[in-house]
Amino acid sequence: MSEAAADVSPKPELLARLAAIGTPTLSSQLIKHGLRSSYLVGAHRLVGQDAICGPAFTLRFVPGREDKATPASYGWPGALPAAIDAVSAGSVVVIDARGHQGAGTVGDIFAERLRLKQVKGIVSDGVVRDLPGLRQVGLPIWAGGTASPPSIGGLSFAGWGEPIGCGGVAIWPGDLIVADEDGVLVVPLGLAEEIAAGGEKQNRFEAWVQKRVAGGAALVGLYPADAATLAAFETSEAARAAALDPGAPDPSLSPSTGLSSSTGLSSSTGLSSNPS
């Protein structure tokens, strides 16, 4: 196991904020921070309804080899059952299955063990098996689909707690995984607070825009926003802040408003100028 697999315990409040923001908004924020490779291609929600966020606990598979991918291999030291037993509560199990579509890396028994260990969910770029049983267990799962054969039908388990590639994205143990009905994203822990703050403000901005669109406003100048729109939104933000904390200074009186004269907001505002 890699030293990088040391337990990481981000604040529960931060995890809840990221899960509530939504992966579309978080994706825009990550792009604003220069991180374009954060969306796991091919991992779709199969089980569960709620959004989740937690630190990654990584599992790694390699192509199956006949002398290694055997029924007896499940009992070897360091095999997949040992990895399942080692998973930390509150984590999201992320499986590098090399995108293999013909062998399920997790079934209902392993999922039940993970549920009892209070894991938040499973993410894989491969497939799972025992779908009726997985639905009964109820642990949230994002994967590429289902297959009947077990993992040894095409893969060999190689280890856990190490950097992996899943869905075309590099993932280190402890990276934050956010998953919802739109998909799965990786958020580096060191950027998580900044991403969350920017995402919350972006959601407020888009809700503000949505009301105006619903009222018949044209998109040009509104979304993407021009300087007048940005100023109007910042005025609404100042009013919101004053309502929450009447004793706070009026941000509109600050020499720097954080506004951009282009079609979006400056990076200091945390808002994306990318329409959606």
Q: Where are the beta strands (DSSP E) in 161-256?
A: 164-166, 169-171, 176-180, 183-187
Q: Are residues 186 and 238 in the same domain?
A: no
Q: Are residues 168 and 126 in the same domain?
A: yes
Q: Are residues 249 and 155 in the same domain?
A: no
Residue 159 lies in a domain: yes
Q: What digits encode the pLDDT tens for the residues 224-248?
A: 999 999 999 999 999 988 888 876 6
The pLDDT of residue 6 is: 43
The pLDDT of residue 271 is: 56
Q: Are residues 129 and 21 in the same domain?
A: yes
Q: Are residues 149 and 26 in the same domain?
A: yes
Q: Does the pLDDT value for residue 163 go beyond 90?
A: yes
Domain boundary among 150, 176, 192: 192
Q: Is 130 marked within a binding site?
A: yes
Contact 106, 129 (CB under 8 A): yes
- Residue 183's CATH number: 3.50.30.40
Domain boundary among 192, 226, 259: 192
**CA atoms of 44 and 39, how far apart (whole Å):** 11
Q: How many domains are contained in the chain?
A: 2
Q: What digits encode the pLDDT tens for the residues 96-155?
A: 999 999 999 999 999 999 999 999 999 999 999 999 999 999 999 999 999 999 999 999
Q: What digits encode the pLDDT tens for the residues 37-67?
A: 999 999 999 999 999 999 999 999 999 999 9
Residue 200 lies in a domain: no
Q: Does the pLDDT value for residue 268 go beyond 70?
A: no
**CA atoms of 107 and 146, how far apart (whole Å):** 10
What's the first-to-final CA gap in the chain, in angstroms? Answer: 41
| Lowest-pLDDT choice from 83-87, 202-206, 252-256 | 252-256
Q: Is 129 marked within a binding site?
A: yes
Instruction: Tell me the pLDDT band of 213, cut-offs 50, 70 and 90.
Output: very high
Q: Are residues 180 and 93 in the same domain?
A: yes
Q: Are residues 58 and 175 in the same domain?
A: yes
Domain assignment of residue 92, given as a range: 3-192
Residue 232 lies in a domain: yes
Total-model pTM: 0.86
**Per-residue pLDDT averaged across 207-219, rounded?**
97
Instruction: Tell me the pLDDT band of 276, cut-offs 50, 70 and 90.
Output: low
Q: Are residues 180 and 243 in the same domain?
A: no
**CA atoms of 210 and 202, how far apart (whole Å):** 12
The pLDDT of residue 69 is: 87
Instruction: Tell me the pLDDT band of 170, cut-offs 50, 70 and 90.
Output: very high
Residue 199 lies in a domain: no
Residue 210 lies in a domain: no
Residue 97 lies in a domain: yes
Q: Is 39 exposed, middle or buried (0-12, 13-18, 19+ CB in 10 A)?
A: buried
Nearest residue to 45 (alpha-carbon basis) of 63, 23, 65, 73 = 23
Residue 213 lies in a domain: no
Burial 85-124 (b: 16+ CB within 10 A, else e): eebbebbbbbbbbbbbbebbbbbbebbbbbbebebbbbbb
Average of per-residue pLDDT values in the chain: 89
Q: Are residues 56 and 150 in the same domain?
A: yes
Q: Are residues 40 and 164 in the same domain?
A: yes
Residue 207 lies in a domain: no
Q: Are residues 52 and 89 in the same domain?
A: yes
The pLDDT of residue 86 is: 97
Question: Which residue(s) pair with 44 in the sheet?
Answer: 143
**Per-residue pLDDT averaged across 165-177, rounded?**
98
The pLDDT of residue 9 is: 80
Taking phi over 0 as left and psi of -120 to 50 as alpha, with beta for the rest, 53 belongs to: beta
What the block records as the tokens of 200 is: 């919350």
Q: Are residues 76 and 157 in the same domain?
A: yes
Q: Does the pLDDT value for residue 77 go beyond 90?
A: no
Distance of CA 188 to the CA centre of its chain: 10
The pLDDT of residue 91 is: 98
Q: Does the pLDDT value for residue 3 go beyond 90?
A: no
